[in-house]
Chain A
Amino acid sequence: SQQGEEDPQALSIQEGENATMNCSYKTSINNLQWYRQNSGRGLVHLILIRSNEREKHSGRLRVTLDTSKKSSSLLITASRAADTASYFCATPTGANNLFFGTGTRLTVIP
């Protein structure tokens, strides 16, 4: 079965620093997605990277995908206090649904 596991489980940085989160998965995928969840709120889609892409940017976000290692990373540059949230990777599984990882809880200290 698909398994998305993020590391670290928790990350605490100072505002302005970069934050890097990693995700590993087990089986072949056609895309990998990153979502953000503010405490007690819904999931917000951040970025989708396809299996034939190695890197993708969106604003201060940079995502990489290494299909040979079955891993992805999410880099948030110049972090802000508002970036404090949990970040999840998600991979398609079955016909339509997404399998979510365990998440990285990011705290950005002002």
Chain B
Amino acid sequence: EPEVTQTPSHQVTQMGQEVILRCVPISNHLYFYWYRQILGQKVEFLVSFYNNEISEKSEIFDDQFSVERPDGSNFTLKIRSTKLEDSAMYFCASGRDGGGETQYFGPGTRLLVL
């Protein structure tokens, strides 16, 4: 069964450094998402991406964040200058349909900013 994959599984970085989190969505899906979950808290939406552009973003997704689909398979989240409060689990998700239909989540990347 196809699944969403994410790399790396864990990332430790120093405050102020740039990180790139990578995702390979399910191949026939058209909608792509990033969410994050701070330890012990709820899953929060960051950004959705469709047709090679951002379709929606939350207040969390400020100028320090960017997303890219550099080729036909990868979907990346870049944090330009990490802050301590960026420490969280970051989940990529993809869906065949938009409009709040079922989304399929990857296993996550645990980011720790020191």
Please classify how large the interface on chain B is, using the bins under 10, 10 to 19, 20 to 34, 35 or more. Answer: 20 to 34
Say yes or no: is B55 at the interface (Cβ < 8 Å to chain A): yes
Decide: B107 and A42 in contact? CB cutoff 8 A.
Answer: yes
Q: Closest approach, in angstroms, between the C-beta of B104 and any C-beta of chain A?
A: 7
Decide: B55 and A96 in contact? CB cutoff 8 A.
Answer: yes
Decide: B107 and A41 in contact? CB cutoff 8 A.
Answer: yes
Q: Closest approach, in angstroms, between the C-beta of B57 and any C-beta of chain A?
A: 9
A-side contacts of B48, CB under 8 Å:
94-97
A-side contacts of B35, CB under 8 Å:
100
Say yes or no: is B91 at the interface (Cβ < 8 Å to chain A): yes
Complex: how many Å from CA A84 to CA B29? 30
Complex: how many Å from CA A103 to CA B41? 9
Decide: A98 and B42 in contact? CB cutoff 8 A.
Answer: no
A-side contacts of B103, CB under 8 Å:
45, 98
Please classify how large the interface on chain A is, using the bins under 10, 10 to 19, 20 to 34, 35 or more. Answer: 20 to 34
B-contacting residues, A22-45, CB 8 Å: 29-31, 33, 35, 40-45
Q: A92 touches which one: B58, B89, B100 (CB < 8 A)?
A: B100
Q: Closest approach, in angstroms, between the C-beta of A6 and any C-beta of chain B?
A: 10
Decide: B107 and A93 in contact? CB cutoff 8 A.
Answer: no
With both beta carbons as reference points, the residue of chain A lying nearest to B108 in the complex is identified as: A42
23 contacts between A and B (CB under 8 A): A29-B100, A31-B101, A40-B89, A40-B108, A43-B91, A43-B93, A44-B105, A45-B104, A91-B100, A92-B101, A94-B45, A94-B48, A95-B48, A95-B56, A95-B98, A96-B33, A96-B48, A96-B56, A97-B48, A97-B58, A97-B100, A98-B45, A99-B45
